[in-house]
Amino acid sequence: MEIKIRAADIKDYERISEIFDHPSVVSQSSQHPYLGHEKVSCLFQERTESSVVLVAEVEKKVQGYIGIDLNSKPRAKHVASFGMAVHPDNHGKGLGSRLLKEAIDLSDNWMNIVRLELDVYTDNEHGIYLYKKFGFQIEGESKFASFKDGDYIGLYRMARISPKFNKVLRRDG
């Protein structure tokens, strides 16, 4: 299976909204179900110049995306966060890994990002596994942080520090 990673463009937002609106995808996001194409498109179109959205194509059809958002605070411009999703029909086929690998390459080598971070539901075992595989570490848990499927759930804060700063981390502990 050939996976092509590229920058998202406006014509991709309809497919991204289909992915985003899938029940198993939306349940792992911070949004509620039934947003619809227009609202999901607005979420992506409202991103500023300090954002990058990449898509993963398989057989010329978008099957996943990752959005990287640079921090706009003057003292935190070295920090970025991201969100991602892969259509459930393509889970376990390497799309998430390819998207995350590309986002990390952009962050480390092109965007001057030291800290790449995200929040992930504590029950998202597959996501947590993927992030750990790429060097993300759980830094803390926010209990009762979100309401999902009729119950409260926690979020893990995970982050990856660029390897260029590993010496600083080891020294400071």
Angle between helices 13-21 and 36-45 (to 10 degrees): 120
Question: Within 13 A of 127's CA, how many CA atoms are on the CB side?
Answer: 24
Domain containing residue 88:
3-172
CA distance 19 to 25: 7
Tally the domains of the chain.
Answer: 1
Structural tokens at position 157: 């804060």
Question: In CATH, what number is assigned to the domain containing residue 78?
Answer: 3.40.630.30
pTM value is 0.88
**pLDDT tens readout for residues 60-108:** 999 999 999 999 899 999 999 999 999 999 999 999 999 999 999 999 9
Average pLDDT over residues 32-37: 68
